[in-house]
Amino acid sequence: MKVQSIRGTHDILPGSVELWQEIEQQARERFRLYGYAEIRTPVLEETELFARSVGADTDIVRKEMYTIEDSKGKSITLRPEGTAPVVRSYIENGLSNEVPVAKLYYIGPMFRHERPQKGRYRQFHQIGAEVLGSDNPAIEAEVIEMLFDLLQALGLQDFNLLINSVGCPVCRPAYINRLREELRLHAGELCEECLRRTETNPLRVLDCKVPSCQPVIERLPVIRDWLCEECREHFSLFQKYLASREIAAEVCPRLVRGLDYYVRTTFEIVSRSLGPTQNALVGGGRYDGLSELLGGPPAKGFGFAMGMERLVLLLSGRSELGAPFKVPAPEIFLVHLDQAAFEYALGLASRLRKEGVFAYVDFAGKSVKSQMRQANRQNAKFTCVIGESELRSGSFTLKRMADGVQTAVTENQIADYLRREL
Ligand code: AMP
């Protein structure tokens, strides 16, 4: 039986990987300009990290984590998100002593046992950034400006910014009580999940996508009317800083996001070109208190995560991930006629590579004709046939594949010639 990849995971083949690299490179360049340093945390963490931070009653922790017990009986989990690991590392490595405001970014795979569909996978990749040490709403606007810069640099235009404030431990409890009372009145109209959430975490009801719950949700009180003075002030300053950067935002009272650690500002960037349920490209918000929750020093935090698969779907204009397999195009394909020429070609290729030329030698032991066919298939820029006479004369004929023009040069001239012509 053929062994296959696990449902909800995917290979990124040559031919597709270049787009991933381009996204990463553009992201790294934006991060550099805005002063973010890369951090790489382990893929495995203690389960407790996510239970405590993401929240025991969230979908992620309740049903989506890949959790195993190690040989000592310790529960460990494949990270479902990047913020909690970064904050854990920030605390563990005492980064708060190094800089007053730490700006960190990460790129890597995350794991959630969700129902796979277009734009939703079990292993997916996020580019994320975290700012630790500031509760200034100006940093929130700066982060969003950086994201807009990145999306525009990638050539995307079709996106909207949604913002909300989810209050803080001062004002949110009263709102949650009010929400619960209202939901209990409509218990008969709610789905089973929302009935449960009404008691455990009523805020989550606002996230529900079940059609029959929508009429109830639309009439629920909105948190904006319950914010305390400080939260109200914070949110209005955030909007002012966005406006001064000419960034348009839509206030979306239902935007509570699926992770418990958020306070005050939450946001999403959605794309009009993605399907209605998987339209979020970026999600983020403020998480003051998370550091303390994980046993660290007080540290205000703000960050986001962007889904790379969804970006790739948008940028490639495809409905499925992946493109046909494609091998890299050699700058020069050295075609060999016999064993002596093969051995010479190996040496020549290694000399050319030291001069920065992508030289390719066929290892399949094929005829000249099939090597030429392979050079064509690989889209080689030049070919050079090497046989007894080339070895004897030291003169090599380089053929430009685009137009068939041939030029004879000595071995020492090959690299210079290619550099000029490529
Ligand atoms: P979250 O960590 O849930 O706030 O998600 C942040 C972003 O990651 C989303 O806006 C998506 O772009 C992406 N994302 C989250 N879950 C998945 C998934 N299962 N498959 C693909 N992308 C995802």
Over the stretch 130-165, which tens digit does the pLDDT of each residue have? 999 999 999 999 999 999 999 999 999 889 999 999
Distance CA 74, CA 78 (A): 13
For residue 280, the ligand 1 atom closest to its alpha carbon is: 10
Q: Looking at the structure, do residues 89 and 221 belong to the same domain, yes or no?
A: no
Is residue 179 in some structural domain? yes
Q: Is the pLDDT of residue 205 over 80?
A: yes
State the distance from the centre of ligand 1 to the C-alpha of 306, rounded, in angstroms.
Answer: 7
Ligand 1 centroid to residue 126 C-alpha, Å: 7
Clarify whether residues 377 and 262 are in a common domain.
Answer: no
Confidence of residue 55 (pLDDT cuts 50, 70, 90): confident
Q: Rounded CA gap, 349 and 122, in Å?
A: 42
Q: Report pLDDT digits (tens) over 389-414.
A: 999 999 999 999 999 999 999 999 99
Tell how far the Cα of 22 is from the centroid of ligand 1, in angstroms: 20
The residue with greater pLDDT, 64 or 59, is: 64
Q: Which of 121, 126, 160 to mutate to test the pocket of ligand 1 (most atoms within 8 A of CB)?
A: 126
Nearest CA to ligand 1 atom 12: 307
Ligand 1 atom index nearest CA of 82: 2
Q: What does DSSP assign to residue 387?
A: -
Best residue among 6, 106, 310, 312 to mutate for probing ligand 1, ranked by most atoms within 8 Å of CB: 310
d(CA 334, CA 346): 9
How does the average pLDDT of the chain come out, rounded?
94
CA count, 13 A, side-chain hemisphere, 69: 3
pLDDT band of residue 4 (cuts 50, 70, 90) is very high
Query: Taking each helix axis from N to C terminus, what angle separates 339-354 and 411-421, rounded to the nearest 10 degrees?
Result: 60
Over range 277-294, report the average pLDDT: 92
In this predicted structure, which of 47-56, 79-88, 120-129 has the lowest mean pLDDT? 47-56
Number of domains in the chain: 3
pLDDT of residue 325: 87
Shared-domain flag, residues 191 and 53: no
Strands 263-271 and 159-165: antiparallel
| Residue owning the nearest CA to atom 20 of ligand 1 | 120
Question: Taking residues 273-288, what's their average pLDDT?
Answer: 87
Ligand 1 mean position, distance from CA 267 (Å): 13
- Classify the phi-psi angles of 289: left when phi > 0, otherwise alpha if psi is within -120 to 50, otherwise beta: left
Place of tokens 């940028």: 315
Q: Which protein residue has the closest C-alpha to ligand 1 atom 1?
A: 283
Res 207 pLDDT > 90: no
Same domain, 118 and 191: no
Return the ligand 1 atom nearest residue 122 CA.
Answer: 19
Distance from Cα 326 to the centre of ligand 1, integer Å = 28
* Same domain, residue pair 85 and 136: yes
Q: What CATH number does the domain containing 337 carry?
A: 3.40.50.800
Same domain, 207 and 241: no
Q: Which residue, of 281, 316, 351, is where some domain finishes?
A: 316
**CA pseudo-torsion sign 110, 113, 118, 123:** positive
Residue identifier of the C-alpha nearest atom 17 of ligand 1: 120
Q: What is the domain range of residue 114?
A: 17-170+229-316
Q: Is 183 helix (H, G, I), strand (E, B) or coil?
A: helix
* Pocket mutation for ligand 1, best pick of 207, 309, 311 (most atoms within 8 Å of C-beta): 309
Identify whether residues 165 and 178 lie together within a single domain.
no
Judgement on whether residues 131 and 271 belong to the same structural domain of the protein: yes
Does residue 103 contact residue 129 with C-beta atoms inside 8 Å?
A: yes
Ligand 1 pocket, residues with Cβ under 6 angstroms: 81, 112, 114, 119-121, 124, 126, 258, 280-283, 305, 307, 309-310
Please indicate, yes or no, whether residues 210 and 275 belong to a single structural domain of this protein. Answer: no
- Do 317 and 366 form a contact (C-beta atoms < 8 A)? no
The pLDDT of 98-112, averaged and rounded, is: 96
Residue nearest to atom 8 of ligand 1 (CA): 307
Q: How far apart are CA 345 and CA 362, in angstroms?
A: 10
Asked whether residue 296 falls in the same domain as residue 353, the answer is no
Question: Which of 210, 226, 242 is at the close of a domain?
Answer: 226
- Whole-number pLDDT of residue 318: 83
Please tell me whether residue 182 adopts helix, strand or coil conformation. Answer: helix
- Measure the CA angle with vertex 311, ends 308 and 312; round to 5°: 85
The answer to whether position 12 is within a domain reads: no
3-class SS at 98? coil
92/153 same-domain check: yes
Query: What is the structure's pLDDT at 363?
Result: 94
Enumerate the β-bridge partners of residue 159: 271
Mark 116-143 as b/e (b = at least 16 C-beta within 10 Å). bebbbbbbbbbbbbbbbbbbbbebbbbb
**What does the alpha-carbon distance between residue 422 and residue 185 come to, in Å, rounded to a whole number?**
73
Which pLDDT does position 298 carry in this prediction?
92
Residue 324 maps to a domain: no
Contact 270, 280 (CB under 8 A): yes
Strand ordering across the sheet containing 406-410: 359-361, 332-336, 382-386, 395-400, 406-410
What would the mean pLDDT of 236-255 be, rounded to a whole number?
96
Residues 242 and 110 in one domain: yes
Measured CA to CA, the distance from residue 279 to residue 273 in angstroms comes to 8
Rounded to whole angstroms, how far apart are CA atoms 68 and 419?
Answer: 54
**Which ranges in 34-136 belong to alpha helices (H)?**
47-53, 59, 83-92
